[in-house]
A = this chain, B = another copy of it.
Amino acid sequence: MADLRTTLVGHTFRNPLWLASGIWGESGNSLKGAWEAGAGGVVTKSIGSQPRMGYPNPTVVTYEKWGMLNAMGLPNPGIEEYPQEIGIARSAGAAVIGSVFGADAEEFAQLAARMAATGVLALELNLSCPHAKGLGSGIGQDPDQVREVVRAVKRAVKIPVIAKITPNHYDVASLAQAAESAGADAISAINTVRALAIDVRLRRPVLAHGLGGLSGPAIKPIGLACVWQIYERVRIPIIGIGGIEHADDVIEYVLAGARAVQLGTAVAFRGIGIFSGLAKELSERLDALKVHRLEEIVGGAHTTATPQ
């Protein structure tokens, strides 16, 4: 059986399959459930300074088999109430990564400090939500602001910091480089891709918020391109996200440069059993490919690539 363990942000994860932020991550019991279902790590819902109700419904549109559109609007109980949820997850022994979002470097730093105090093993900065106006999206598009936020957070906390990058940019690697230069310990990519669905009978966008974010299998090729480009320009570990459902999806991300991956939409499409199922599938597939340790092949597609 291939060794699925992966080490990054100062921790050895039992497998590279993490629960992505925003999925099963609002309540501590759900984080615990995902951990017990076999996730290698669990990322919390992105938490802000104040409770946020999020956008009204409809907040989700599904495309049969290949994707999903959502505009939740970052609902979250706020940092005041959230530590009790993390407590539940940690008491089950879960490897918890705390996700936060803020409007500027200062708010990010304050939130990060409070989140770090809950005992999470690392932070993920949501620099990339494509549909919350003024919340993270502006910041996440500008390398200078990314640098500023990461630097402020790094000053405020001792635990490792992961910068989560938006795909809605012409040069995602420049954002990752900015984060690295400010001391980020890892990059995660990608968040959802800006998208829209219209109901032709009602002549209006389906989501209450109008624009939303695309996730699921359709964005896998986009996420892979981002990870590939980031891997060519930064040295810190990368966590690949976007459309992962099968063992080969994970291996593609790892070959593109990811040291771990996160699953979001697949949890809705295939259920929480996906973590144990996919770990098994992955291990078998690596055996068939004669790979003994997942970590061996991180970035492995770069060395053989035709230079162009």
A300 in contact (CB, < 8 A): yes
State which of A33-41, A84-92, A102-110, A220-228 sits at the interface with chain B.
A220-228
A156 in contact (CB, < 8 A): no
Contacts of A222 in B (CB 8 A): 193-195, 214
Contact of A210 with B248 at beta-carbon distance under 8 Å, contacts A195-B222, A203-B301, A218-B66 already known? no
Q: Which one of A67, A171, A205, A248 has the highest number of Cβ atoms from chain B below 10 Å of its Cβ?
A: A205
User: Interface residues of A: mostly helix, strand, loop or mixed?
Assistant: mixed
Q: Is the CB of B256 within 8 A of A198?
A: yes
Q: Is the CB of B196 within 8 A of A221?
A: yes
Which A222-250 residues sit within 8 Å CB-CB of chain B?
Answer: 222, 224-225, 228-229, 248
Query: How many angstroms from the CA of A303 to the CA of B301 in the assembled complex?
Result: 48
Query: How many angstroms from the CA of A69 to the CA of B224 in the assembled complex?
Result: 12
Number of A interface residues at 8 Å Cβ cutoff, please give it. Answer: 54
Q: Is the CB of B66 within 8 A of A304?
A: no
A97 in contact (CB, < 8 A): no
Q: Which residue of B lies closest to A218 (CB)?
A: B218
Among candidates B65, B203, B204, B225, residue contacting A194 with C-beta atoms closer than 8 Å: B225
Q: Is the CB of B195 within 8 A of A225?
A: yes
Among candidates B195, B201, B289, residue contacting A221 with C-beta atoms closer than 8 Å: B195
A180 in contact (CB, < 8 A): no
Contact of A198 with B217 at beta-carbon distance under 8 Å, contacts A170-B169, A205-B305, A308-B210 already known? no
Contact of A251 with B218 at beta-carbon distance under 8 Å, contacts A169-B169, A209-B308, A301-B205 already known? no
Query: Please, could you name 9 A-B residue pairs with CB atoms under 8 Å apart, sorted by A?
Result: A133-B308, A168-B169, A194-B222, A200-B251, A200-B255, A202-B304, A205-B306, A210-B228, A211-B228
* A residues lining the B interface (CB < 8 Å): 55, 63, 65-67, 69, 133, 141, 166, 168-171, 193-198, 200-205, 208-212, 214, 217-219, 221-222, 224-225, 228-229, 248, 251-252, 255-256, 285, 289, 297, 300-301, 304-306, 308
